[in-house]
Amino acid sequence: MEIHDLGDGEPEVAVVGAIHGDEPCGARAVERLLDADLAPERPVRLIVANEAALDAGERYLDADLNRAFPGNPDAAAHEVRLAADLVDALAGCTTLAIHSTQSYAEPFAVIDSMDEVTRAVAPHLPVDAVIQTDAFTEGRLIEHPHTLEVEAGLQGSEGAADNAYWLARAFLAATGAITAPGADDVLDAGGREDVSVFRLRERIPKPDAEAYEVFARNFERVESGERFAAADGEPLLADEPFYPVLLSPNGYRDQFGYVADRVGTLE
């Protein structure tokens, strides 16, 4: 784990990249932040988490780090030990964890629940949507208090790397750690109220097949009876209306993505 502290005092705000080694956008955002000469107004901690998996170009070495929290320092698995170290490194910090996806090219935020930190910070992030995942957060870093995840874009793309940097800059400005670009004071944009909030309801399983397709678009309503995916050419139809989230043919081994409900907008 690579840690960089900026500013004076114990870190209060943190940005974490490379929780998954096949998602380099967060590590690249950390590199750009280090090169940006930020002069933070609150102490900041920047972390590249799973360096070994990043160097190997693998999602993880022994276990999925984002299913291993709070971890165990005495565990045999590299990522389970690393999870315990990362939790210690983030103690007392409001945290942004940067990821990327195989299902959606534009940024969106992922939260455990709609708490005061989310309501204060999320409206200032350049995201298309906020996803509440409280039914599916076991072992994930967003169970850590005052933590938001962002999906920066398509895994391995230049777009995701660029988005990750600007998401991190926006997060640091929204938490009062740096000033907004072109502004004299800490960012206070007044918030955005047009960002939709979705809550995950259930997984969409994949039947055994050689080839998969998806036809629905993430965050766009699928009507009852509508074809949203196919397995070996056999269509899958919606039993009831839903909003697909993280829907892709190849993003997960055993599921297409998630069924979600649109529960409102950021206020």
Record the tokens describing residue 209, joined without a space. Answer: 């097949």
Beta bridge partners of 255: 205
CA distances from 47 to 89, 118, 217, 233 (A): 9, 21, 33, 44
Neighbours of 83 (CB within 10 A): 28
Domains of the chain: 2-175 (3.40.630.10), 204-260 (2.40.50)
Per-chain mean pLDDT for the chain: 92
| Coil, helix or strand at residue 185 | coil
The answer to whether residues 126 and 109 touch, using CB atoms and an 8 Å cutoff, is no
The answer to whether residues 78 and 52 touch, using CB atoms and an 8 Å cutoff, is yes
Q: Is 242 exposed, middle or buried (0-12, 13-18, 19+ CB in 10 A)?
A: buried
- Pairwise CA distance, residues 28 & 113, whole Å: 28
The answer to whether residues 152 and 26 touch, using CB atoms and an 8 Å cutoff, is yes
Q: For 97, list phi and psi in degrees, rounded to 5.
A: -110, 125
| Coil, helix or strand at residue 144 | coil
| Cα–Cα nearest to 82, from 96, 66, 71, 91 | 71
Model pLDDT for residues 171-186, shown as the tens digit of each residue? 999 999 998 755 444 4
Position 248, amino acid: S
Model pLDDT for residues 79-96, shown as the tens digit of each residue? 999 999 999 999 999 999
Beta bridge partners of 259: 202, 244
Please report the pLDDT score of residue 86 as a whole number.
Answer: 98
Record the tokens describing residue 114, joined without a space. Answer: 């709609």
Please report the pLDDT score of residue 188 as a whole number.
Answer: 43
Of the pLDDT bands very low, low, confident and very high (cuts 50, 70, 90), residue 255 is very high
First to last CA, the chain: 36
Model pLDDT for residues 170-226, shown as the tens digit of each residue? 999 999 999 875 544 444 444 556 789 999 999 999 999 999 999 999 999 999 999
Position 250, amino acid: N
